[in-house]
């Protein structure tokens, strides 16, 4: 399901900005883009977001500003500089050269100056980052709830339409048997002329046909699946994967009804059912 949430949190020392965006995805796939300084918190960020998000391709963008401007300091290594100077003077004597060492020359030599990272207050940083994360996640969930309500209403409308189609197939079934029986009788009478029709044989043929085209079990199961989907949508919660499985079962029952159909009207309705089930399956991918 698509979603969006944004939040900023700032105190006297730091400012955090968090944006969360998502698109449809069968599983949870999170991508986090943030400053290297915050990489230490990646596992904690993922765990925190899992409290709000269970499904979707989610992109998280985090920016961080440190108002203290004390990220690193320069360290002067006097002993190393003294060692360089001692050996430079020795080289001057060994090769009878002028010792023209300047401070700028000595300062460029390796390890005379080092950049030293200041100690990071991880607890304080996480406290601010978590506040921004939680607020952005709450806005993200609110966005998804509004979209989810519209999606639920649309799906329930489609499911109610499917129930009407299933009821039509159920009501149509007895008429199919009677029409087959009447058609078979007419053919036999046409072939035999005045000879009396063997009612026992006719009944046997009709019974075999009725058994072959019977979809009572499929109708019961399909109705049950549709009602279960409606109930899950009404109850709410994390139901996406469950509904995805039920939709597969609905499609299986519709396929069986279509394969057994020996009637044009029933075939048309079964095809409509398959089309609606596919639409439902596509929209279920949006549900967490």
pLDDT, tens digit only, all 288 positions of the chain = 678 999 999 988 889 999 999 987 777 899 999 998 899 899 999 999 999 988 788 999 999 988 775 556 778 889 998 998 888 888 888 888 888 888 888 888 888 887 665 566 788 899 999 999 999 999 999 998 888 888 889 999 999 999 999 999 998 888 888 777 777 777 776 776 666 767 777 788 778 877 788 888 899 999 999 999 999 888 877 787 888 899 999 999 999 988 888 888 889 999 999 999 999 988 887 777
Q: Which residue has the tokens 């399956």?
A: 281
My answer on whether 163 and 209 are in the same domain is yes
My answer on whether 211 and 103 are in the same domain is no
My answer on whether 233 and 275 are in the same domain is yes
116's enclosing H/E stretch is strand 113-117
| Integer Cα distance of 225 and 276 in angstroms | 14
My answer on whether 136 and 215 are in the same domain is no
pLDDT at position 105: 83
280 Cβ contact partners less than 8 Å away, ≥ 6 residues apart: 155, 158, 159, 162, 229, 247, 250
My answer on whether 206 and 250 are in the same domain is yes
| Integer Cα distance of 264 and 177 in angstroms | 14
pLDDT at position 225: 94
Percent of the chain with pLDDT over 70: 93
pLDDT at position 32: 95
| Integer Cα distance of 213 and 221 in angstroms | 16
My answer on whether 45 and 104 are in the same domain is no
SS3 192: helix
My answer on whether 27 and 129 are in the same domain is yes
DSSP-derived pairing of the beta strands 14-23 and 56-66: antiparallel
pLDDT at position 205: 77
| Integer Cα distance of 81 and 103 in angstroms | 10
| Integer Cα distance of 273 and 171 in angstroms | 16
pLDDT at position 117: 59
**Would the pTM of this model clear 0.75, i.e. be above it?**
no
Domain count of the chain?
3
My answer on whether 182 and 278 are in the same domain is yes
DSSP 3-state helix, strand, coil percentages of the chain (rounded to 5)? 65, 15, 20
pLDDT at position 71: 55
Cross-strand bridge partners of residue 76? 113
Burial class (CB in 10 A: 0-12, 13-18, 19+), 3: buried
41 close to 126: Cβ distance less than 8 angstroms: yes
My answer on whether 214 and 86 are in the same domain is no
| Integer Cα distance of 108 and 129 in angstroms | 39
Render the burial of 216-253: b for 16+ CB within 10 Å, e for the rest: eebbebbbebbeebbebbeeeeebbeebeebbeebbeb
My answer on whether 40 and 165 are in the same domain is no
* Helices and strands, number each (H, E), in the chain: 8, 6
My answer on whether 276 and 184 are in the same domain is yes
| Integer Cα distance of 268 and 272 in angstroms | 6
Range of the domain at 108: 72-117
My answer on whether 134 and 198 are in the same domain is no
């Amino acid at each position: 399901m698509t979603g969006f949430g944004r939040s900023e949190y700032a105190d006297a020392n730091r400012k955090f900005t968090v944006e969360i965006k998502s698109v449809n995805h069968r599983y949870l796939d999170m991508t986090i883009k943030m400053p290297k300084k915050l990489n230490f918190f990646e596992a904690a960020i993922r765990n925190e977001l899992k409290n709000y998000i269970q499904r979707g391709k989610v992109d998280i963008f985090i920016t961080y500003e440190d108002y203290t401007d004390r990220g690193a300091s320069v360290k002067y290594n006097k002993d190393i500089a003294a060692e360089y100077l001692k050996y430079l003077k020795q080289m001057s004597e060994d090769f009878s050269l002028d010792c023209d060492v300047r401070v700028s020359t000595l300062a460029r030599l390796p390890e005379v100056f080092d950049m030293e990272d200041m100690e990071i207050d991880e607890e304080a940083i996480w406290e601010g980052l978590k506040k921004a994360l939680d607020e952005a996640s709450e806005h993200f969930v609110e966005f998804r709830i509004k979209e989810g309500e519209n999606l639920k209403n649309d799906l329930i409308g489609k499911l109610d339409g499917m129930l009407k189609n299933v009821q039509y197939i159920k009501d149509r079934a007895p008429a199919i048997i009677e029409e087959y029986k009447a058609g078979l009788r007419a053919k036999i009478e046409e072939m035999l002329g005045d000879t009396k029709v063997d009612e026992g044989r006719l009944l046997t043929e009709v019974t075999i046909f009725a058994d072959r085209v019977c979809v009572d079990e499929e109708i019961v199961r399909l109705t049950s699946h549709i009602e279960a989907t409606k109930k899950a949508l009404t109850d709410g919660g994390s139901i996406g994967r469950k509904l995805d499985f039920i939709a597969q079962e609905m499609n299986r029952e519709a396929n069986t009804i279509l394969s057994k159909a020996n009637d044009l009207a029933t075939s048309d309705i079964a095809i409509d059912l398959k089309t609606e089930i596919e639409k439902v399956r596509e929209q279920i991918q949006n549900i967490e």
